Amino acid sequence: MTNLKNLWNLRIIALIALCGCATGKPIPDRNLIDDPKFANWFNIKGLGAGIDDGKQQGVFPSSRESIGKPVWHIAQWASRYNFADPATTTTTEISRHVFEMRNPSKIFRVDSLNGVVDMGLFASACYDKPRKKNEYWPHLLISTSFTEPRVPDGNCRVINMKKLTLNLDCKLLEFTDKHPAADPSLHAAQFLLHIVVQNLTRDDDGYGDMIWFGVPIFDNRREIITERFSKDKGKPDASGKFIFGMAHEAVRPMETTFFKEGKIVAGENTSPIPTHADLLPWIHYAFQLARKNGFMQTTSFRDLYVSAMNLGWEMPGTYDATMRISKLSLTAEY
């Protein structure tokens, strides 16, 4: 009887420990971004978009060892000059923690001590003529995963979260309009953050289905960004998945913009624009909106995980621009 009682007590202790409550303390908040300071460097992907397979072609910076394996990737789709090509790209060690890559179409600078990245995309070096409908456009993005899709982390499961708080500061260092007579339906410079909200329940009919969940940062066509949703389309390799974009006022005060008196303001002396929001209620809303519009039909809310993110420039128009990002975190509260 004593042995059975001891075994029962051990089972209870084990269950309490699994719940994160062995000491009576709640499960701690967690930044889902494993390397928020970018200390483990970046894998460089190819140009993709019919030019190459878009897979990893190098590591930045390569001149100094990182602390660990890179979890961040640089995507440079359709941007003409490849960061992995030493014939066109110069890499400079500015200081012990600051490195820069530069070529005719892009600049990428990282400060791994302070967690700061500058991303410059010069679309004027990518286009020979203004983009037409359904043609590719240049990108400069950084991306990272939060969980392994085949064995998903329960901390990334949306239903387990009480809050999911995004923090990010952005400063527009440069913006030049080189697109006369632009068509706003085709031509733009957008700096966007997208989180992949995905069904990762194995053996479920909807496994792998997803929503592109967008957080607005900058769009040269409008000072105030309104809520939007659509099917991902507009280029040959579009995913066809549901895209939802939050409204400006959900992430920052209406008067906090990259514009002054209707004109875009850029430069080192400008103030960073903060983005701060609890994304969790908006993920609930986006999922219901997707279902209402015919997407995610074989997925339940309990199947959803926050699986990855990307952040950076998409330029369907001829613009040259550089954005600085800092103070990036995505914190889950349980």
Q: What is the pLDDT along the chain (334 residues), one digit of tens a residue?
A: 444 344 334 333 333 333 443 445 667 899 999 999 999 999 999 999 778 888 999 999 976 666 678 999 999 999 999 999 999 999 999 999 999 999 999 999 999 999 999 999 999 999 999 999 989 999 999 999 999 999 999 999 999 999 999 999 999 999 999 998 899 999 999 999 999 999 999 989 999 999 999 999 999 999 999 999 988 876 777 788 999 999 999 999 999 999 999 999 999 999 999 999 999 999 999 999 999 999 999 999 999 999 999 999 999 999 999 999 999 999 999 9
Q: What's the pLDDT tens digit per position in 238-258?
A: 788 999 999 999 999 999 999
Which pLDDT score, from 0 to 100, does residue 50 have? 75
Is the previous residue joined to 216 through a cis bond, with omega within 30 degrees of 0?
A: no
Pairing mode, if any, of strands 116-122 and 259-260?
A: unpaired
Contact yes or no for 235/132 (Cβ under 8 A): no
- For residues 237 and 104, give the distance between their C-alpha atoms in angstroms, rounded to a whole number: 25
Q: Where do the domains of the chain lie?
A: 2-333
The radius of gyration of the chain from alpha carbons, rounded to an integer in Å, stands at 22
Identity of the residue numbered 103: N
| CATH code of the domain made up of 2-333 | 2.60.120
Q: Residue 49 forms beta bridges with which residues?
A: none
Pairing mode, if any, of strands 190-199 and 228-231?
A: unpaired
Contact yes or no for 70/149 (Cβ under 8 A): no
Residue showing tokens 């043609």: 135
**Three-class SS of residue 250?**
helix
In terms of Cα–Cα distance, which of 39, 307, 74, 277 is closest to 168? 277
The pTM (predicted TM-score) of the whole model is 0.89
Which pLDDT score, from 0 to 100, does residue 64 have? 66
